Structures are given as structure tokens and as C-alpha cells.
């Protein structure tokens, strides 16, 4: 393996990803600057490069995906964005710049899990060894912690648990065929040296355990068991029983992957495949059940838009005056409508379906001019 | 032809019961996640050693439908899969009927005839038993980047039942074991993947078949995912009944192919964006070399400087750089020996 290493730290927010990235940073991995500023929710620092956070946030916004999105279909949306050559080129350029100054780079951001294939691909193109670490924390604790620190987001318990299940199930799948490790937050707090030594051996990065004593002391100083401020159980949360049972099984099977080679010859992976299928089915059914609510919201939005467009008395009067003047634009639209109507009558639907949408729109615009 | 999606069993007008189209989605059982790649092939024995291993590594199942090959394509496919240790993922089927060539022959053939491209495609894709179908050609070579993209899409699309995959691929004109010409001009993307459901079947159009419907949710695969082999000493346009290619915009790609072919054969100037690539010393076949450097070549606008060849990393690491196993030797320069430009 070459000297370049890209360490990708994934996991649900509030799972100890900051602590892990902070430790490996002290042991020699570079966290690209500038970093996200420390705040009360993470007093020892996030170890998140600002550029990465901004880029991921923009991409998620573009894909209309939330950082802890519970929709399993959201993975197709972020995949689509990740294939954009411009996005690939931007990430490539930024990471190349990091590697020009540092051989060992760690990237951590709670949104990273949506873009693991993108980072892996760019890292490999730059000749880096790719290593993925997924932090594990019980979903009830994750949700409780998020309720405490992300209270500005109006997400209910059940949705947050579903988001945990979705992100963890698919993150496990995303990292499956690669050099990876799972680390339990509690284990890191209890004795951080053991998980790090295991990863050092597993990833063949001896510099982690060979770090100077001073650096090891810095790493040790980051670990504070009181950081685990949110302890919770399922009883504290309002979650459907089916989702609760599924999440608990996912949690147990993820834990079984912590020890190297402890996946029972693929049995745990097969169970996780089953859980993922079950979650997709569960979520689809949930969407079907609440269809009335969705339709009602859509109707409400439609009514709102119409009423927003409805003219006031003076506007109506003004509109009437404009109508009387019969603007050229409306005549052109009518002409376009007539011509398109004739096309619809004379060209069979099957043939119309073959005409690309952009061509149709171009024709409409042509008639309107 | 029975209307698309109305029934799961489509008869052919010749009455061949064993070649009735029986769609996998009509079995009632749950479809497995992921892709099945369907390759309709005829005399592709020469390309298969480079085409088959990457696609076998990338999707759960590959169905090769042989249409009357005389060069041992089915046997080569089975041997190549065996050598790669992936025989369990491969199914080889035979479709013994002569199929109308693209163009006027296709136009003159009813879509419910076993001789129709449309029927042939629907029969071939009816063997898909996964949630997504992937159309693949016997001359399309996946790059390592493309392999990863397909492996990831298997889970990324697990909950998405309406996405279609579109991909552009460049033509690679193989001159010899060491030299090829790559057409880096961007072509129009084509649809290669779609959900395996009653809503997605092939219909007849003028020159060839089309998959319908044209979905709004289209995922564009990276341009570096794959390239298409063209052997300079082969008859590239044999599957067309009319090679004038002057009728529709759909044939623009074919026209360019023909132009490059002629230029390379006649020694006339090449069109823009066609680059010559030579494998470095060491015996690496040009196709293996291109697989490794194609992404960089594409992104760097035709140069392969400062390329990091992929290293083995984790369980799904790349095989060592070597010639495709089971590949027949590539003939040297074409029959007339005129292609010597660089």
C-alpha cells in the first residue's frame, strides 16, 4: 500500500464521530482546515473541515435529502448527484490539494455517509488507500442526544429512529466491499487505545500506534466519559413497535461486525440484507398509510398558491384593463395552444411519447414568439 | 403484439411455444435487489474475454443470449466466467432465429415475430429476475470506475422503483494488441438500465427497438464507466441492413463511427477528439491498459500523465494488470497494413 491514506469516518450524528476523528487527528491524521468552530454541543471540537460540510450541505440541498433522511429512496438521489463530473472534479481538486501537503487525511462529517462512493472513488483516483470507520451508538441514545442538541429541527422520535435505521443500514452496505471497521462509542470512551490499536492493525497503518507519546497524551486528553451525556432507553421514546424491533435487530447485528471476521461467515451480513429489505418495505407501507395526509397537504398548498395568485379588487380591475387590450403574448399562447391541440389530434400518443420533452418545450416557445 | 404490460405471457406469430415471452415479474415471487445484465451477442468471442469478467463482478447475474454465433461465443463466455470463478453468476441461452438487422429489415418485420429485434429483446429481458435490468452489449468494456458504480447502484436503487440509467460510451478502435484509437467526442447518452416491471418493455420504432416509457427520473452514469470495442479488421456494420446512415439524427453516432473507420483504413485525417493510445512496454494488452487509464484519459482531455493505476484495496480490489484470460490474440495491423499513424 502506498503512503497516502484517506480515512472516512461515517456514522449517525451524535455517535462519537467527532471524538474518533479527533483522536486519529492527534495521532497523525490531518483534518483539513479551516474546521467547523467548537460549540456547546461538541465542546472538544467537531473535527469537520468547513469545505466538506459546506459541499455536502449544498449537495444534499440539491438532492432534496436531509442529513438523517429516513427515505430509503434518498440514496438514489444522492447517487445521481455524485455522478456529476463537476462535483467529482471539485472534490478531486480539493482532496488533491490536501494530499499535496499531507499523506494521511481524515474526513468526518455526519453527512459523509450519503457520499461515501464519491469520496472513495476520488481517493482511489489519487492513489490513496481508502479506509472507512463507522461509529456505532445505540439508536435510543442517538435520538435522545439529537433531541437535546438539534432541538431546532421539528423531527419526531419515530422519524429520527427511522432516519437512524436508514442511514446505518445503507452505510453498512456502502462500506461492505471495502477496508472498514466499526467502533462502538462506549468502547472508545471506556478505553480508546484498544479500538485504535485494532484499527491500526486492521488498516495496516502502524503510525497510529507508533505516534509519539506526546501525541498519544493529546489523544487521551480528548476522551472524557462525561461526553456521553445522553443515556436513554426505548421507553423514553414514542416509536412504533415494528420499527423499534427492527432497529434493535439492526443494532445487534452491527455490533457483531465490530470484531474482525466476526460476521459468522456472512450470516450477519445476510441478516442485515434482510433488515434492509424489511425497512424498505416498512417505509413504503408507512408512506401508503399516510397518503391521505400527503394529499391533503398537497391540496392545502395548491389552495394557498391559488389564493396567493387571486387578484385583489384593484388588481382584478387592472387585469381587466389589460385583458381588454388583448396583449400579443396571450394571442401567441392561444396560437400555440391551437397548434398543439392539432398535433395532439393528429399524432398518435405512442408517437408523441417518443418526442423528447425538451423538443416539445422548444416548439411551444417557438410558437409563442 | 400484445399491449405492453397487459399480460405476462406474449405469444409469437410463428407459434414457437418454447420462445414465448414469460416475464419474470409475473412469477409472483419477490424479485431480488440489484441488476441482471442481459447481453445479446452474435460472434463476439473476440471481445468477450474483456467484456464479461468486469460485468460479472459488478452485477448479481448475467444472462448471455447467443443469436447464432459461429465463432464459439457461448463456449468462450462459459470458459471466461469459469476462469474468473464466476460461473454461478452466468446463464447462457440460445435464441436460434435469424433477427432482422437494424434499418429497413427491422422496419419490415412485425414486432411479434421471432425475427423481430423487438421480440428478441423482450424475450431476452424476460429472463431478468432482479429488480433492475441492465442492457449490455458484447463489445462494452467496464472500467474499474464503472464496476464500482454498478456495484453501488445495486443498493442505492434498492428502494427506487422508477429510475432509469443513461450512459454515454466512447468508441475504442483496436488496431493491434498495443495500439487503439479512442473517440473522446461526447455522444448522446442511451438508456441502459431500468426497473424490471410491466411498465418497462420494448416497442418497435423505425430503425430499431426502444425501451418505454421515457421516465423523468434518469440517472446519468459517469462518462468514464465504460467504452465500446470496435475491431478495425472486422465488419463493424454487419448488423445494419442499410449503412447509408443519413436518415435520422439517431444515426449520428453510426455516421461518426463510419467516418472514423474509413479514416483509419484509408489513412485520411481523423475527426477531432480521436486520440491514439499505445500500451507501454511490458506486454499489457491495449484493452487492459485502457481499462486502467480510460477515466484519466477522459478527464484529462486525451492524456494519461500522472495517472494512479488502481491498487488492490479491500475485498473487491482490482485484479492485477494482465491480459484478459482466455482472450484470443489480437491480429496485428489490418489486412492492408495501412494504419501506422500516431
Q: What CATH number is associated with residue B80?
A: 3.90.550
Peptide bond preceding A72 in cis form (omega within 30 of 0) = no
CA dihedral A323, A328, A331, A333 (to 10 degrees): -110
| CATH code of the domain containing A223 | 3.40.50
For the cut 80, the answer to whether the pLDDT of residue B199 exceeds it is yes
Same domain as A193, residue A145:
yes
Could you tell me how far CA A7 lies from the centroid of its own chain? Answer: 18
A73 to B160: CB separation less than 8 angstroms, yes or no: yes
**Percent of chain B clearing pLDDT 70 (strictly above):** 80
Nearest CB among A72, A129, A354 relative to B159 is that of: A72
Same domain as A361, residue A279:
no
Contact residues, chain B, for A75 at CB < 8 Å? 155-160
Check residue B30 and give its pLDDT.
82
Asked if residue B33 belongs to a domain, the reply is: yes
Q: Nearest-CA distance from A44 to chain B in Å?
A: 33
The whole-angstrom separation of Cα A35 and Cα B333 is 57
A284 to B159: CB separation less than 8 angstroms, yes or no: yes
List the single residue in A with minimal CA-CA distance to B292. Answer: A125
Contact residues, chain B, for A89 at CB < 8 Å? 299
Contact residues, chain B, for A71 at CB < 8 Å? 159
**Buried residues in A134-157 as b, exposed as e (16+ CB within 10 A):** bbbbbbbbbbbbbbebeeeeebeb
The whole-angstrom separation of Cα B314 and Cα B304 is 25
Q: What angle do CA A310, A314, A320 make, to 5 degrees?
A: 80
The whole-angstrom separation of Cα A263 and Cα A93 is 37
Residue with cell 435529502: A65
Per residue in B210-250, pLDDT (tens digit) is 887 766 789 999 999 999 999 998 766 655 555 565 555 45
- Whether A81 and chain B come into contact, CB under 8 Å, resolves to no
Beta-carbon neighbour count of residue B256 at 10 Å? 18
Determine the residue among A8, A63, A70, A73 to mutate to test chain B binding: the one whose Cβ has the most chain B Cβ atoms within 10 Å. Answer: A73
A76 to B160: CB separation less than 8 angstroms, yes or no: yes
- Whether B16 and chain A come into contact, CB under 8 Å, resolves to no
Average pLDDT in chain B: 83
Q: Nearest-CA distance from A105 to chain B in Å?
A: 17
Nearest CB among B148, B223, B314 relative to A117 is that of: B148
Q: Nearest-CA distance from A349 to chain B in Å?
A: 12
Q: Which residues are CB-contacts of A52 (< 8 A; sequence separation ≥ 6)?
A: A32, A107, A109, A112
Could you give the number of structural domains in chain B?
A: 1
Asked if residue B228 belongs to a domain, the reply is: no
Closest to B200 in 3D by CA, of B162, B154, B156, B168: B162
**Buried residues in B70-92 as b, exposed as e (16+ CB within 10 A):** eeebbebbbbbbeebebeebbbb
The whole-angstrom separation of Cα A216 and Cα A209 is 8
Q: Which residues are CB-contacts of A162 (< 8 A; sequence separation ≥ 6)?
A: A70, A243, A283
List the single residue in B with minimal CA-CA distance to A284. Answer: B159
Could you give the number of structural domains in chain A?
A: 2
Contact residues, chain B, for A269 at CB < 8 Å? none
Check residue A130 and give its pLDDT.
97
Asked if residue A314 belongs to a domain, the reply is: no
Asked if residue B210 belongs to a domain, the reply is: yes
Question: What values do phi and psi take at B147, rounded to 5?
Answer: -60, -45
Question: What's the average model confidence in pLDDT over B171-176?
Answer: 94
Asked if residue B112 belongs to a domain, the reply is: yes
Check residue B209 and give its pLDDT.
84
List the single residue in A with minimal CA-CA distance to B30. Answer: A277
Q: Which residues are CB-contacts of A102 (< 8 A; sequence separation ≥ 6)?
A: A30
A127 to B145: CB separation less than 8 angstroms, yes or no: no
- Reported pTM: 0.78
Closest to B4 in 3D by CA, of B19, B25, B27, B34: B25
Same domain as A363, residue A252:
no
Same domain as A341, residue A220:
no
- Whether B303 and chain A come into contact, CB under 8 Å, resolves to no
A129 to B223: CB separation less than 8 angstroms, yes or no: no
Asked if residue A323 belongs to a domain, the reply is: no
Per residue in B241-263, pLDDT (tens digit) is 555 655 554 567 778 888 898 89
Domain housing B65: 9-167+190-222
- Whether B45 and chain A come into contact, CB under 8 Å, resolves to no
Check residue A236 and give its pLDDT.
81
SS3 A60: helix
The whole-angstrom separation of Cα A191 and Cα A178 is 26
Residue B56 is placed in which grid cell? Answer: 460479472
Question: What values do phi and psi take at B6, rounded to 5?
Answer: -80, -35
A178 to B316: CB separation less than 8 angstroms, yes or no: yes
Asked if residue B326 belongs to a domain, the reply is: no
Determine which helix (DSSP H) or strand (DSSP E) holds B174, and give its type and residue range.
strand B170-174
Total CB pairs under 8 A between chain A and B: 93
B223 to A85: CB separation less than 8 angstroms, yes or no: yes
Per residue in B108-153, pLDDT (tens digit) is 999 999 999 999 999 999 999 999 999 999 999 999 999 999 999 9
- Whether B156 and chain A come into contact, CB under 8 Å, resolves to yes
Same domain as A254, residue A294:
no
Q: Which residues are CB-contacts of A76 (< 8 A; sequence separation ≥ 6)?
A: B156, B157, B159, B160, B163, B217, B219
Residue A127 is placed in which grid cell? Answer: 492513489
Q: Nearest-CA distance from A317 to chain B in Å?
A: 40
Asked if residue A317 belongs to a domain, the reply is: no
Asked if residue B110 belongs to a domain, the reply is: yes
- Whether A283 and chain B come into contact, CB under 8 Å, resolves to yes
Determine the residue among B29, B160, B301 to mutate to test chain A binding: the one whose Cβ has the most chain A Cβ atoms within 10 Å. Answer: B160
Question: What's the average model confidence in pLDDT over B66-72?
Answer: 96
Asked if residue A258 belongs to a domain, the reply is: yes
Domain housing A268: 5-288
- Whether B223 and chain A come into contact, CB under 8 Å, resolves to yes
Contact residues, chain A, for B152 at CB < 8 Å? 79, 117, 174
Contact residues, chain B, for A178 at CB < 8 Å? 313-316
Asked if residue A263 belongs to a domain, the reply is: yes
The whole-angstrom separation of Cα A82 and Cα B180 is 30
The whole-angstrom separation of Cα A74 and Cα A80 is 10
User: Please, how many CA atoms are within 13 Å of residue B260, restricted to the half-sphere of its CB?
Assistant: 28
Asked if residue B263 belongs to a domain, the reply is: no
DSSP A270-318: HHHHHHHHHHHHHHHHHHHHTHHHHHHHHHHHHHHHHHHHS--HHHHHH
Nearest CB among B33, B296, B313 relative to A130 is that of: B313
At how many degrees (to 10) do helices A241-255 and A267-289 cross? 160
Q: Per residue of chain A (369 residues), what is the pLDDT tens digit?
A: 568 999 999 998 888 999 999 999 999 999 999 988 777 666 677 889 999 999 999 999 999 999 999 999 999 999 999 999 999 999 999 999 999 999 999 999 999 999 999 999 999 999 999 999 999 999 999 998 877 767 677 788 999 999 999 999 999 999 998 899 999 999 999 999 999 999 999 999 999 999 999 999 999 999 887 766 666 788 888 999 999 999 999 999 999 999 865 556 689 999 999 999 999 999 999 999 999 999 998 888 888 777 776 655 445 444 444 443 434 444 444 455 555 555 555 555 555 555 555 555 555 555 444
Asked if residue B285 belongs to a domain, the reply is: no
B308 to A126: CB separation less than 8 angstroms, yes or no: yes
Asked if residue A300 belongs to a domain, the reply is: yes
Closest to B292 in 3D by CA, of A185, A300, A124: A124
Same domain as A250, residue A137:
yes
Residue A313 is placed in which grid cell? Answer: 379588487
ipTM over 0.85: no
- Whether B31 and chain A come into contact, CB under 8 Å, resolves to no
A83 to B219: CB separation less than 8 angstroms, yes or no: yes
Per residue in B273-309, pLDDT (tens digit) is 999 999 987 789 999 999 999 998 988 877 766 555 5
- Whether B316 and chain A come into contact, CB under 8 Å, resolves to yes
Asked if residue A321 belongs to a domain, the reply is: no
Same domain as A100, residue A10:
yes
The whole-angstrom separation of Cα B57 and Cα B322 is 16
Q: Nearest-CA distance from A82 to chain B in Å?
A: 9
* More confident call, A1 vs B30: B30
DSSP A110-141: TTGGGGHHHHHHHHHHTTPEEEEEEEE--HHH
A127: left (phi over 0), alpha (psi -120 to 50) or beta: left
Amino acid at each position: 500500500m502506498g503512503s497516502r491514506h484517506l480515512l472516512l469516518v461515517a456514522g449517525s450524528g451524535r455517535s462519537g464521530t467527532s471524538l474518533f476523528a479527533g483522536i486519529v487527528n492527534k495521532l497523525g491524521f490531518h483534518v483539513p482546515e479551516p474546521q467547523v468552530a467548537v460549540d456547546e454541543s461538541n465542546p472538544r471540537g467537531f473535527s469537520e473541515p468547513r469545505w466538506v460540510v459546506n459541499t455536502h450541505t449544498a449537495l444534499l440541498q440539491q438532492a432534496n435529502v436531509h442529513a438523517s433522511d429516513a427515505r430509503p429512496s434518498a440514496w438514489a438521489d444522492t447517487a445521481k448527484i455524485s455522478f456529476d463530473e463537476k462535483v467529482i472534479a471539485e472534490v478531486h481538486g480539493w482532496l488533491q490539494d490536501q494530499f499535496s501537503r499531507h499523506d494521511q487525511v481524515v474526513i468526518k462529517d455526519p453527512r459523509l455517509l450519503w457520499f461515501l462512493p464519491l469520496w472513495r472513488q476520488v481517493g482511489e483516483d489519487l492513489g490513496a488507500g481508502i479506509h472507512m470507520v463507522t461509529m456505532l451508538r445505540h439508536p435510543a441514545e442517538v435520538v435522545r442526544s439529537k433531541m437535546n442538541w438539534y432541538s431546532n429541527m421539528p423531527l419526531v422520535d419515530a422519524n429520527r429512529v427511522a432516519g437512524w435505521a436508514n442511514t446505518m443500514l445503507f452505510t453498512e452496505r456502502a462500506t461492505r466491499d471495502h477496508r472498514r471497521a466499526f467502533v462502538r462509542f462506549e468502547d472508545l470512551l471506556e478505553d480508546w487505545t484498544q479500538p485504535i490499536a485494532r484499527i491500526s492493525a486492521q488498516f495496516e497503518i502502524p503510525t497510529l500506534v507508533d505516534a509519539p507519546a506526546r501525541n498519544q497524551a493529546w489523544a487521551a486528553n480528548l476522551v472524557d466519559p462525561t461526553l456521553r451525556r445522553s443515556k436513554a432507553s426505548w421507553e423514553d421514546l414514542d416509536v412504533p413497535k415494528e420499527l423499534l424491533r427492527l432497529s434493535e435487530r439492526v443494532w445487534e447485528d452491527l455490533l457483531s461486525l465490530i470484531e474482525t471476521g466476526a460476521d459468522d461467515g456472512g450470516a450477519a451480513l445476510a441478516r442485515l440484507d434482510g433488515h434492509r429489505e424489511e425497512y424498505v418495505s416498512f417505509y413504503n407501507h408507512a408512506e401508503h398509510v399516510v397518503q391521505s395526509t400527503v394529499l391533503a397537504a398537497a391540496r392545502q398548498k395548491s389552495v394557498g398558491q391559488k389564493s396567493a395568485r387571486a387578484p385583489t379588487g384593484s388588481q382584478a380591475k387592472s387585469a381587466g384593463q389589460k385583458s381588454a387590450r388583448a396583449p400579443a403574448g396571450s394571442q401567441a399562447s392561444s396560437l400555440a395552444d391551437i397548434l398543439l391541440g392539432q398535433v395532439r389530434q393528429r399524432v398518435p400518443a405512442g408517437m408523441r411519447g417518443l418526442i423528447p420533452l425538451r423538443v416539445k418545450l422548444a416548439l411551444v416557445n417557438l410558437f409563442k414568439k | 403484439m400484445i399491449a405492453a404490460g397487459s399480460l405476462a405471457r406474449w405469444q409469437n406469430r410463428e407459434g414457437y411455444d418454447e420462445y414465448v415471452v414469460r416475464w419474470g415479474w409475473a412469477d409472483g415471487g419477490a424479485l431480488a435487489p440489484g441488476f441482471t445484465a442481459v447481453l445479446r451477442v452474435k460472434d463476439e468471442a473476440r471481445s468477450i474475454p474483456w467484456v464479461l469478467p468486469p460485468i460479472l463482478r459488478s452485477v448479481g447475474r448475467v444472462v448471455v443470449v447467443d443469436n447464432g454465433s459461429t465463432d464459439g461465443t457461448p463456449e468462450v463466455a462459459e470458459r471466461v466466467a469459469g476462469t474468473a470463478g464466476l460461473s454461478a453468476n452466468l446463464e447462457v441461452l440460445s435464441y436460434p432465429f435469424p433477427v432482422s438487422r437494424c434499418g429497413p429489415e427491422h422496419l419490415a418485420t412485425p414486432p411479434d415475430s421471432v425475427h423481430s429485434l423487438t421480440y428478441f429483446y423482450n424475450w431476452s429481458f424476460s429472463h431478468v429476475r432482479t429488480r433492475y435490468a441492465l442492457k449490455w452489449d458484447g463489445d462494452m468494456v467496464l472500467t474499474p470506475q464503472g464496476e464500482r458504480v454498478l456495484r453501488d447502484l445495486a443498493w442505492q436503487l434498492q428502494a427506487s422503483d422508477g429510475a432509469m440509467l443513461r450512459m454515454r460510451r466512447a468508441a475504442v478502435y483496436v488496431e493491434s494488441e498495443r495500439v487503439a484509437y479512442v473517440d473522446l467526442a461526447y455522444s448522446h447518452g442511451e438508456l441502459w438500465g431500468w426497473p424490471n416491471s410491466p411498465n418497462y418493455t420494448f416497442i418497435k420504432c423505425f430503425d430499431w427497438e426502444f425501451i418505454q416509457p421515457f421516465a423523468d427520473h434518469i440517472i446519468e452514469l459517469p462518462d468514464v464507466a465504460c467504452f465500446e470495442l470496435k475491431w478495425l479488421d472486422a465488419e463493424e456494420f454487419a448488423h445494419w441492413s442499410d449503412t447509408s446512415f443519413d436518415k435520422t439524427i439517431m444515426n449520428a453516432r453510426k455516421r461518426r463511427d463510419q467516418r472514423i473507420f474509413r479514416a483509419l483504413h484509408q489513412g485520411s485525417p481523423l475527426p477531432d477528439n480521436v486520440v491514439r493510445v499505445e500500451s507501454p512496454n511490458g506486454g499489457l494488452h491495449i484493452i487492459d491498459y485502457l481499462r486502467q487509464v480510460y477515466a484519466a484519459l477522459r478527464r484529462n482531455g486525451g492524456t494519461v500523465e500522472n495517472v494512479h493505476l488502481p491498487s488492490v484495496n479491500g475485498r473487491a480490489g482490482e485484479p492485477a494488470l494482465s491480459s484478459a484470460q482466455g482472450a484470443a490474440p489480437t491480429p496485428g495491423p489490418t489486412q492492408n497494413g495501412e494504419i501506422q499513424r500516431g
